[in-house]
Structure 1
């Protein structure tokens, strides 16, 4: 199938057509021409006001709950939500039931994306069955397509982390660490701040994150390995990572979009959709995260899409599960963040995550592979629950007026245009 994109602004910070308005002609899986004006016949012509195009967006952390919790989300609904959000790739977390702990499970989730414009690059568990006792089958899972290894929100002891970091050097992969010391915050619910005082909810102090970042950086330096931190939320952690990078430690990090857009003030209304882990932090932390993203201390942004059904979310705040959905609304969430321009955002959700996770990437040029997201960064719309493809609706954005929306995705020869 041939497709012609008319008068589109190309957002490709590393490419020759960045910020230029061009026509793009695509034949099958390949961009064959980029010109000021193209008049070739096409099976489909896309001509939409304020049309923008970038390399395909990649949400590097989603929790699709499949296998085991398909009532909350399955791979099909999750991939649909991701596509509607402009993603052409996602990385699913392994703490499902059963866990993604062997090559069979890795192959299972990858095969589910066979006919989707959204590719799945899964994580495998860091330990056998995610139980924290013995390191997992890294080589076999890597050969089957696992791009990194994590036990999700379950911390591992220093000995396991040390051995995992050593082994990663042999499989050209990396540990993905969610840095939290549960012994510090126990049953904490919200940030340790005025929010915890005013709500009366148990608190989660910044040091619970800082201590684990410090430990894992020390182990990474000692083993001369590489580590990726997911869900960094505090200024103290940012400072540690910035210094580690300056000292040559092989560390990368991501931040969840909601930590850039919101602060702990949101929980004062006891809306359980703002109950996330890490908790929403202070304005000081939020500003530190934005600055860290801009200076490269934090490498990229992801959604931490975590579906929860009504039985586990529509409860009193302290009883509700942690998490919010976000892959479909990732870009709109970022559009609420002052201090990041459009190039910053595209870098953080399309280019930099692919580089960190060693996924295919190329600038938008003639003869390159067509892996594209089509979007309008200024499109205004109201989000209804029925608009969300996720089986769960735990989003604080329902009923809100949003700006910025994906209009379609093109990948693997599959063309999905949502707005035409």
Structure 2
């Protein structure tokens, strides 16, 4: 297939010659054939002309959950990857929250096979422990050989300190990346929201920031002792940023991420008891959000994520205390980040992170495989339920203003655009 993008403004900080330049881009059989001010299309070339067309390296999300196998009513792999593609993502890292939990090489092979022939590439995480129960390490090396990019007991902390120590020591033999979810369950107790004046006013059990900070401090001390590679997903407190910044200054191999909803909302939105805002970690205070935004800008926080988590309707439209944690967010990532940061920063945040998982990053260079996201950064709209492509409709961003429309993606020799 031959594709010609006309008058596309390239957003690519790594390529100073093309960055913010408007160019025609000719793609032949999945390879960028030519980039020039004007290209005359040959026969049998699909010419794409879109309003205010911008392109960047394909976007990447490090924390996405679907449902298949076991919870297909939440999301299937096929529809989930289609949703990601429509949202501009060419690569996603899939969380291990299915049934069965992917804790063996055969489970990883199943996920990889189920994602074949989809335009968005799926990179599975394997469970760190058997059934994510936190007692025995899973088949980490075998899962790596099958295609797992890291190990994570999704939203479950490693309560056994010695198990984390052993995991960090063992994975050094094959350069594996270990996740540790930042919450001390004893301190968090039965909390459902951030512990502060809002939780008191609403009569909801709180999760103190200390629950996150204490777990991170423990994990970093263990990492300093063992060495290895540690990733702390979706931090939410000001102290977490400080702790990780100090660890990086020591030279520890630690990375972290933040969910976009924790950058955009505060716990003030909970006044209506809307369970779409019940997320883990919980929405925090304005001071926390300010510290998180600063951490992103300064590079302490390595990358942002939608933390896309589809949940069954019957698990959301119930009493707040009993509702499940999680919100979808793939469709909202660009439109929200583009309000919080300037365009170049937004695209950088959406594009980076692959290196941590040893996933190749394609460049916008002649002769290279194509991996592009197409978008209009200036279009504004209010996000409504009809715009949710996920099977599950639990979404915290309903009714919020978005800035920036995604047209689609081109990856390898496939194209999806609206």
For Structure 1 versus Structure 2, the TM-score category normalised by the shorter chain is over 0.9
Match of 2:206 in 1: 203
Q: 1:342 deviation in Å?
A: 1.3
Q: What do residues 191-237 of structure 1 show as CA deviations (whole Å, max 9, x unaligned)?
A: 11121122110101111001111111111111111101100111101
Distance 2:113 2:36 in 1: 36
Q: 1:125 deviation in Å?
A: 0.5
Match of 1:291 in 2: 294
Match of 1:118 in 2: 120
Match of 1:414 in 2: 414
Match of 1:373 in 2: 373
Give the structure-1-normalised TM-score.
0.96
CA contact (8 A) 1:68 1:96 kept: yes
1:28 aligns with 2:34: no
Q: 1:138 deviation in Å?
A: 1.0
Distance 1:92 1:105 in 2: 13
Distance 2:386 2:111 in 1: 26
Match of 1:99 in 2: 101
Q: What do residues 27-74 of structure 1 show as CA deviations (whole Å, max 9, x unaligned)?
A: 111111111111132521111121110111111111102111111111
Q: 1:111 deviation in Å?
A: 1.4
For residues 73-112 of structure 1, the aligned pairs below 5 Å read 73-112=75-114
Match of 1:280 in 2: 283
CA contact (8 A) 1:83 1:328 kept: no
CA contact (8 A) 1:88 1:373 kept: yes
For residues 4-403 of structure 1, the aligned pairs below 5 Å read 4-16=4-16, 17-41=18-42, 43-156=45-158, 157-337=160-340, 340-351=341-352, 353-403=353-403
CA contact (8 A) 1:138 1:171 kept: no
Distance 1:149 1:61 in 2: 12
CA contact (8 A) 1:306 1:324 kept: yes
Q: 1:409 deviation in Å?
A: 0.6
Distance 1:10 1:40 in 2: 19
Q: What do residues 374-420 of structure 1 show as CA deviations (whole Å, max 9, x unaligned)?
A: 011112234332322211101133344422121011112111112xx
Give SS of 1:344's match.
Answer: helix
Give SS of 1:347's match.
Answer: helix
Structure 2: 5+ residue stretches without partners: none
The total of aligned residue pairs comes to: 415
Distance 1:400 1:290, change over 3 A: closer
CA contact (8 A) 2:31 2:412 kept: no
CA contact (8 A) 2:86 2:416 kept: no
Q: In angstroms, what is the RMSD of aligned CA positions?
A: 1.2
Distance 1:148 1:387 in 2: 32
Structure 1: 5+ residue stretches without partners: none
Give the structure-2-normalised TM-score.
0.97
Distance 2:9 2:114 in 1: 33
CA contact (8 A) 1:305 1:326 kept: yes
Q: 1:249 deviation in Å?
A: 0.5
CA contact (8 A) 1:335 1:403 kept: yes
Q: What do residues 217-265 of structure 1 show as CA deviations (whole Å, max 9, x unaligned)?
A: 1111111111011001111010000011011011111110101111111
Distance 1:215 1:111 in 2: 38
